[in-house]
Amino acid sequence: MELQEPKAPLQNSAPNGEKGKPSTKKGRDEELDELKKEMKMDEHIIPMEQLVARFDTSLEKGLTDAHAAKVIARDGPNALTPPKKVPEWVKFCKNLFGGFAMLLWIGAFLCFIAYAVDTFSMEYPSKDNLYLGIVLAAVVIITGCFQYYQESKSSKIMESFKNMVPTFALVLRNGEKRQIRTEDVAVGDIVEVKGGDRVPADIRIISAHGFKVDNSSLTGESEPQSRNHECTNENPLETKNLAFFSTNAVEGSAIGVVVCTGDRTVMGRIAHLASGLDTGETPIAREIAHFIHIITGVAVFLGVSFFVIAFVLGYHWLSAVVFLIGIIVANVPEGLIATVTVCLTLTAKRMASKNCLVKNLEAVETLGSTSTICSDKTGTLTQNRMTVAHMWFDGVTTDCDTSENQASRNENRDSQAYNALIRVAALCNRAEFKSGQGDVPVLKRLCTGDASESALLKCVELSRGDVMGFRAKYPKICEIPFNSTNKYQVSIHEVSDDGEFYHLLVMKGAPERILDRCSTIVTKGEVVSLTQPRRDEFNAAYLDLGGMGERVLGFCDCKLDQQKFPKGYAFDSEDPNFPLDKLRFVGLISMIDPPRAAVPDAVSKCRSAGIKVIMVTGDHPITAKAIAKSVGIMSEETETVEDIALRKGIDVSEVDPSEARAAVIHGSDLREMTEEQLQSILDSHDEIRQGQIVAVTGDGVNDSPALKRADIGIAMGIAGSDVSKQAADMILLDDNFASIVTGVEEGRLIFDNLKKSIAYTLTSNIPEISPFLSFILFDIPLPLGTVTILCIDLGTDLWPAISLAYEEAESDIMKRRPRDSKHDKLVNERLISVAYGQIGMIQASSGFFAYVYIMAENGFLPWDLLGVRSRWDSRAVNDLQDSYGQQWTYANRKVLEYTCHTAFFSSIVIVQWADLIICKTRRNSLVQQGMSNWTLNFGLVFETTLAAFMAYCPGLDNGLRMFSWWFPALPFSLLIFVYDEARRFLIRKYPGGWVERETYY
């Protein structure tokens, strides 16, 4: 299955939190009503026996593998047909003719028109316009092809990512439960769905326990809808015994038989009504668009100004248009979009190799701007490998032996409290061992269910043996699933002991919640009142276990009155018609979930990078604090409000919050936190209050609202529910917090590298524009032609600019404060100052030095060039005298001018060597950064080779008028290198000083 639905839902808000294109409610309702009238199916109406016979399946054993294969061969895979994609030829044409490329096509067309006019009006027409038109057309075609290639490559990579997080369904095949890919589900399969899953197909409910689904993506109903086995309406969209493909199970569990798959599902049938998704602009996309708009505006303004000036000075209007095109091309970084695409795609691939999967490319940079990470504890900061460590019953805490031979077990197995505790742990538990593991040691067996219930299951299996057989003796007839509001789980079982029949209610959950619902406690074989001294014993044990960083659960039970709850009583889990208080407390079980080895170092990196880490957990504050200290979120000497109150012997309300260096807030997830809990986080973390970038991790269905609201939502690839993965922007394939920190580093790196690429690209604008300025202001022969500008911007500069995307991170990348997205822009005034006002000026000086040197060597001293332009460009003047009285014909003057063009061009290429090398690092010395970026090293060779090819290739000397002249710019290239090394040395030596404030971009 794809990470996102190929079709949008029938509502304005897409299920993954993105905004859909608005459609009128009236029109949508009319279409849906029409569909309801046309939809004909009876699978929800006919008796279950008839349905089973129709699909040739079995409620007890499900389909056989052979029969399932036949059904899939007949119906096809269980997936929606993908929406029609934009044809490749349309994408290619957009790259070839869209946006700025169209301006270049117009320029090429005008050049051909100018050449045609010259051909018909002159006896010996110049071919300059013809060659310029050819170059412009070639440039547009080459860059269009390159951008199309990069776009296609990026699309294929992102498409491959979607298959890296497949969805699975739990089905009954050949009498065994097994997990299969959703695409392999067949009509007639018996499937089990629980809260957090996506419904794998259209299913008819066989049995359900508190099962609710979110149909908002299908019908627009905002409230979760309950589902059970009863047919309540002939209309399939309104009956309660159907659950539909791709809707989300919110809570509870259900078993159902698949009635439709793929395009034959209700979602498949209405897919043509769905509107397309509008993903909206991400921060980096807005930054780049803003930058391009500014640069393009400046370019057009300068181009039009030069056009007017050239026209006023007597140039033919077509020649003036050539100047217009040249100025615009000199200003706009045409290769920037390709560079951004390469940067994002490259980073996404790197992150995927490090178990961090992005669902949209721009999310990478957003993660790099993160200032606060709200992380789920279980499975992200810890290993999610729960092991039962201690039990508390009969007023005593005992260690649990989790070895296979139980050699050191010291529990009193004859204790009534112990046996009651084990019974509740076995029955109030939805975890099961996967089939075919009879010979596998208990502790190594794979389970279906969450980590806590799996740990309890293994503990009971080691203690009692044959848990599944034990459960079979006590059939479950009703269940209230755990949710983060109640923080408890309840199930009711039928019991037949020695001929006596009764119903047994068992409950487990947060210890304080369980204790509040109890009035008695079993201790030393007796059931006694839960007095204050016994509550104090409970609290002491709870704090002791929590202080060791262990997760603690409370357990209780209740034998229901046989008269009030006889056999066959209809228990209602949605509106409980049975007691949930005055229960009997039986004990505590604590589990240890060791922190991941890489987490402390990752948290330390976050501290260095100025990122605050908040651990969100439903554990007791004592447990939360112990784990936070073990992973480095809190230090040993860090005090909370509670610690200060205890030290001073005062009430918590009397403590000044500003004294606390940490906040421990008791809440299970972000959505369920109270106003006071959220305010405590806001008071303790200024970044959130100031609206900076917040990343949130989550794995459950209850976390999905927080994942959607966060600047970047991060779901767990292993333990995460399908709903959370759908809501998130990023998925951790290994559920490891350290992978988030890797993502932050990659996000910062991409922003750094884009800055470097832009700095490199913009620097050459000054030596490209200044020749035209001098040409107009000082009336000198043109030092640099339009064709040579094109050769620089779309020839020699393109590969080096892209190669900076491959640059490795600088040593301080995770030691800086998070980027302030409001003030620290991709292109700021310091970058412009360095690129235009410093390095660009040196580059322009190198070009003019070569120009003046060649002119002087050939007889034209600098002061004699002033005001000579009109006679220089006149075909009628063939006796122009230089500074030494030599006469120059028009043809000879043009050869000298083109030689100057080539020298200026070669100078820019040579000084761009130094510019490319200094752009590798913004702070480090080049010695420290090294030259290990072989893509960039090849870029140096590439631009030099291309420049030499243009200068020396036979034929080009006629078209591009290239002549070699290399050496005058070498001292300037060395000057740029030395100047920038000195600048960066001062930044490192005097952090926060004047040089850093004014030049660190």
Which are the catalytic amino acids?
376
With contact defined as beta carbons under 8 Å apart, do 906 and 969 qualify?
yes
CA 989, 991, 997, 1001 torsion: positive or negative?
Answer: positive
Contact 23, 9 (CB under 8 A): no
Cα separation, 316 vs 113, whole angstroms: 13
Q: Is 113 exposed, middle or buried (0-12, 13-18, 19+ CB in 10 A)?
A: middle
Helix, strand counts (H, E) of the chain: 37, 26
940 neighbors 916 (Cβ within 8 angstroms): yes
Q: Distance between CA 586 and CA 1 in Å, rounded?
A: 45
Report CA 861 to chain centroid distance, whole Å.
Answer: 61
Query: At a CB cut-off of 8 Å and minimum separation 6, what does 915 contact?
Result: 760, 763, 764, 839, 843, 976
Write phi, then psi, for 42 (nearest 5 degrees): -120, 10
Cα 114 from chain centroid (whole Å): 51
CA-nearest of 390, 78, 476 to 259 is 78
Rounded Cα gap, residues 1001 and 447, in angstroms: 53
- Both tokens assigned to 977: 């290198």
Q: Rounded CA gap, 344 and 367, in Å?
A: 12
Eight-class DSSP state of 171: E
Q: In which element (H, E) is residue 713 found?
A: strand 712-716
Contacts of 935 (CB under 8 A, 6+ apart): 802, 803, 806
* SS3 at position 945: helix
Contacts (Cβ under 8 Å, ≥6 apart) of 708? 16, 17, 727
List, as one string, the DSSP characters of 223-282.
S-EE--S----SSTTT-SSEE-TT-EEEEEEEEEEEEE-GGGSHHHHTGGGPPPB-----
Which helix (H) or strand (E) element contains residue 545?
helix 532-547
DSSP state of 969: G
> What sign has the CA pseudo-torsion 216, 219, 220, 224?
negative
Alpha helices in 665-807 (DSSP H): 675-684, 686-689, 704-709, 722-727, 737-763, 765-777, 786-791, 798-803
Beta bridge partners of 519: none
| 3-class state of residue 946 by DSSP | helix
- Whose CA is closest to 916, among 934, 948, 932, 939? 939
Q: What amino acid is encoded at 910 in this protein?
A: I
To 5 degrees, how large is the angle CA 111–CA 117–CA 123? 120
- Two tokens, residue 640: 């909370």
Amino acid letter for position 698: G
